[in-house]
């Protein structure tokens, strides 16, 4: 259920899970330091300032973030309906 929620957000916002988690950090005024050596991922990680996560979804993510953050960043999972 937790992962399904994140996947549904990728479809809603047309962003990847890492982008959503980075944006969540930005909106919470946290400092996010995503790591990547791949140029396409660096660009993707920076592309988080053209959308805002609504308040309801922010509250939902608060409950999910601690359990999913590290796992999702290690797996390259994207919603197939957005590709």
Res. 45 pLDDT band, cuts 50 70 90: very high
- Number of neighbours of residue 6 by Cβ within 10 angstroms: 19
Residues 6+ apart with CB under 8 A from 46: none
DSSP state for residue 80 in the 8-state scheme = G
Residue 70 C-alpha from the chain's centroid = 11
Biggest distance spanned by C-alpha atoms of the chain: 33
45, 18 contact by CB (below 8 A): yes
Tell me the pTM: 0.74
Averaged pLDDT score across all residues of the chain:
80
Instruction: Note the pLDDT tens digit of each residue in 5-24.
Output: 888 999 999 999 899 989 99
């Amino acid at each position: 259920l937790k992962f399904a929620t994140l996947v549904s957000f990728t479809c809603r916002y047309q962003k990847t899970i890492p982008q959503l988690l980075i944006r969540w950090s930005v909106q919470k005024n946290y400092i996010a330091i995503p790591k990547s050596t791949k140029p396409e991922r660096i660009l993707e990680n920076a592309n988080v300032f053209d959308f805002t996560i609504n308040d309801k979804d922010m509250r939902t993510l608060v409950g999910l973030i601690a359990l999913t953050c590290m796992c999702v960043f290690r797996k390259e999972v994207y919603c197939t309906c957005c590709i």
